[in-house]
Amino acid sequence: MLIATGKTLVIGIADMKISDNPNSSLITYSLGSCLGIAIYDPMVKVGGLLHVMLPEANNEKYSGDFNPFKYVDSGVPLLFKAAYKFGAEKRRLKVTVVGGAQILDDSGYFNIGKRNLLMLRKLFWKNGMRLC
């Protein structure tokens, strides 16, 4: 995670950035089945962007090179917690989600994009938030 300081910052795959500087721009590219989850609290002008790849970390949490921003179930809570540290409040947050495409799998067997969105909806439901 990096805290932005008034410039354009690119969020890579399995990465997250937070900013409390209204002059900062957070951008990401090439989502495909990945999700780009952006949050913003207009009152305190805190925003964040997370680029996740997969729905669940499962046993990866115990590996030595675990990256929590790679997974919906571990990255999303960290995104919100980081924004809260800068004064953001859940009730004021504007949330935008993009991505979740079905690519490279005509059978739908893996359908990572759909599974990412389902995991995100599950997390939001458990925390009293709605994803439209």
**Known catalytic residue at 132:** no
Sign, CA dihedral 33-34-37-38, equals negative
Q: pLDDT band for position 27 (50/70/90)?
A: very high
61-68 contacts, C-beta under 8 A, 24 or more apart: 67/14
6: containing domain = 2-126
Rounded distance, CA 50 to CA 76, Å? 7
CATH number at residue 92: 3.30.1330.200
* pLDDT tens readout for residues 33-52: 999 999 999 999 999 999 99
Say if residues 121 and 113 touch (Cβ distance below 8 Å): no
pTM: 0.89
Residue 132 belongs to some domain of the structure: no
pLDDT in tens, 54-106: 999 987 777 788 999 999 999 999 999 999 999 999 999 999 999 999 877 66
* From 9, 11, 34, 76, the catalytic residue: 34
Whether 131 is in a domain gets the answer: no
Q: Which parts of 1-132 are beta strand (E)? A: 2-3, 8-10, 15-19, 25-27, 35-41, 46-52, 94-99
